């Protein structure tokens, strides 16, 4: 326990031992900085542990640092360009390879560990060890005050002095494993602006009564094209959709949720690439099967059965169905328009969009307008797509910051 009369002194205190904080602390330590890493949670890097279904989707090979707007959102997606260019997916792959961590690629450039997320936590802790990082966990930070030539911190393990403070406390998602608004409060305390935080990569919910006909489909997954927004604002994803008791989830919905704003309709093509209007017109000429059975060629049978319940004109053999009814059916399946009532919130959101306004930060070092105070990782208004982009931002922003400490 440090002596309260003579505070421990460090070049930098990194607050938050998650992805960004662990990585930043290790790199800075190895560059020669005396670093203290603190976290209030009992367990280290719980979010890494549960990530990627327990296998950690640690980066994405498709990331193009020259075009960050393709995979990142925020008020200024160009902000992350410099950091992403200086620490790339290839750099992190090289690190994981040096640590002998086996991994594999899933679809769309997503890289996962072969064994478990624990491999990555062990690697980051080993890198901190190699950098001589002092790690206090659990340790709460009660106060941070600027002293003119650095910062004085009051922590549950005593007072600390540091030349620099790095805030790596992440966003608000999954409070039950330690997420807090600490980073936003520190920003506000030092007069830095925030982009309002909101849940992102999150399942969407619908009005109970409107959703009742679809709630029976809970558990059903199918590939779709999903869209939101108009003209220049339009975003679309080709991914899997998952029905839930309260609404929609799955990669398609998680991705679109980051772009969805309250009141906006979603448009979903439940049979992408099929050309349903023509397919049904053809079926009418050759088949006497019930429409639901015909439809089951192109969409899952459970969906076909539930879907035709919406209109009596669809509950008959295809050869007896009217042309208009078939066109209507094709159009409804190919362009299902629906307005979510909300999201499942921070309890289920994989990330928090919004955060510390990037206009307050240097894109080279992540230092804020308040000298010696840095923000890295998810606490910043930079949000990646599903697929390893958020971890790559944590690594890259942590690396950029570490060079400056
Ligand atoms: P992170 O949340 O990792 O760490 C913040 C740390 O700060 C925590 O250890 C917390 O305890 C600590 N802290 C908070 N408040 C504090 C306080 N007041 N005092 C002290 N410490 C405090 N991304 C990806 O790229 N690939 C993936 O596979 C996944 N999978 C995934 C699954 C699930 C279920 C979730 C919830 C999220 C993901 N993500 C993901 C997102 C990814 O986990 C996330 O973007 C990064 O962990 C963000 O890294 P940070 O270091 O910024 O925050």
pLDDT in tens, 23-37: 999 999 999 999 999
Please report the ipTM that was assigned to this predicted complex: 0.99
Ligand 1 in contact with 19 (CB < 6 A)?
Answer: yes
> Is the pLDDT reported for residue 3 higher than 70?
no
Q: Is the peptide bond preceding residue 138 cis, with omega within 30 degrees of 0? A: yes
pLDDT digits (tens, 9 = 90+) for 151-196: 999 999 999 999 999 999 999 999 999 999 999 999 999 999 999 9
Phi and psi torsions of 213, nearest 5°: -65, -25
Of ligand 1's listed atoms, the one at least distance from the Cα of 180 is 15
Residue pair 216/361 in contact (Cβ under 8 Å)? The answer is no
CA atoms in the 13 A half-sphere facing the CB of 247: 22
Position 332 confidence tier, pLDDT thresholds 50, 70, 90: very high
- Which H helix or E strand runs over 332? helix 323-334
Per-residue pLDDT, averaged over 357-383, amounts to 98
Q: Is the CB of 112 under 6 A from ligand 1?
A: no
Q: What is the Å distance from ligand 1's center to 351 Cα? A: 8
- Among 47, 60, 138, 157, the mutation site with the greatest number of ligand 1 atoms within 8 A of its Cβ is 47
- CA distances, 271 to each of 40, 79, 305 (Å): 47, 37, 15
Atom of ligand 1 nearest to the CA of 390: 25
Decide if 158 contacts 2 (C-beta within 8 A): yes
- pLDDT at residue 5, rounded to an integer: 54
- At 2, is the pLDDT very low, low, confident or very high (cuts 50, 70, 90)? very low
Query: If you average pLDDT over every residue of the chain, what do you get?
Result: 96
Tens digit of each residue's pLDDT (9 = 90 or more) over 118-134: 999 999 999 999 999 99
pLDDT tens, position by position, 148-161? 899 999 999 999 99
Element (H, E) at 279: helix 276-286
pLDDT score of 139 more than 70: yes
Structural element, H or E, at residue 145: strand 141-146
- The pLDDT assigned to 7 comes to 77
State the distance from the centre of ligand 1 to the C-alpha of 391, rounded, in angstroms. 9
CA of 124 to the centre of ligand 1 (A): 14
Q: Tens digits of per-residue pLDDT, 73-114?
A: 999 999 999 999 999 999 999 999 999 999 999 989 999 999
Q: How many CB atoms lie within 10 A of CB 68?
A: 25
Phi-psi region of 110 (alpha: psi -120 to 50; beta: other; left: phi over 0): beta
Q: What is the distance in A from the centroid of ligand 1 to the CA of 188?
A: 21
Mutate to test the pocket of ligand 1, among 13, 14, 15, 16 (most ligand atoms within 8 A of CB): 16
Name the pTM for this structure.
Answer: 0.96
**pLDDT interval class at 221 (50, 70, 90):** very high
């Amino acid at each position: 326990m440090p002596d309260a009369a003579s505070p421990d002194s460090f070049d930098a205190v990194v607050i938050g031992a998650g992805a960004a904080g662990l990585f930043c602390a290790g790199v800075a330590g190895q560059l020669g900085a005396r670093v203290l890493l603190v976290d209030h949670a009992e367990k280290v890097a719980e979010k890494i542990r549960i990530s990627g279904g327990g296998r950690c989707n640690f980066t994405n090979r498709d990331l193009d640092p020259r075009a960050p707007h393709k995979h990142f959102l925020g008020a200024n997606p160009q902000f992350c360009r410099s950091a992403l260019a200086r620490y790339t997916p290839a750099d992190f792959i090289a690190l994981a390879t040096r640590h002998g961590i086996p991994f594999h690629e899933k679809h769309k450039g997503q890289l996962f560990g072969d064994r478990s997320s624990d491999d990555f936590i062990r690697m980051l802790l080993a890198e901190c060890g190699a950098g001589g990082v002092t790690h206090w966990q659990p340790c709460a930070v009660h106060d941070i005050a600027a002293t003119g030539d650095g910062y004085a911190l009051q922590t549950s393990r005593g007072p600390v002095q540091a030349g620099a403070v790095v805030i790596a406390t992440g966003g608000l998602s999954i409070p039950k494993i330690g997420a807090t608004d600490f980073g936003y409060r520190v920003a506000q305390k030092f007069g830095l602006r925030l982009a309002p935080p909101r849940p992102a990569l999150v399942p969407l919910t619908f009005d109970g009564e409107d959703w009742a006909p679809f709630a029976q489909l809970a558990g059903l997954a199918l590939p779709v094209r999903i869209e939101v927004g108009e003209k220049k604002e339009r975003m679309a994803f080709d991914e899997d959709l998952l029905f839930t008791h309260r609404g929609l989830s799955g990669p398609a919905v998680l991705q679109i949720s980051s772009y969805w704003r309250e009141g906006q309709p979603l448009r979903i093509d439940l049979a992408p690439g099929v050309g349903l209007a023509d397919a049904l017109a053809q079926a009418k000429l050759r088949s006497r099967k019930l429409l639901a059975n015909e439809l089951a060629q192109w969409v899952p049978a459970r969906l076909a059965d539930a879907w035709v319940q919406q209109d009596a004109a669809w509950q008959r053999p295809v050869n007896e169905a009217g042309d208009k009814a078939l066109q209507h059916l094709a159009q409804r399946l190919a362009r299902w328009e629906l307005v979510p009532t909300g999201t499942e919130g921070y309890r289920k959101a994989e990330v928090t969009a919004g955060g510390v306004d990037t206009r307050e930060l240097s894109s080279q070092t992540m230092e804020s307008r308040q000298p010696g105070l840095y923000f890295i990782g998810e606490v910043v208004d930079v949000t990646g797509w599903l697929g390893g982009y958020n971890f790559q931002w944590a690594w890259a922003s942590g690396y950029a910051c570490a060079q400056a400490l």
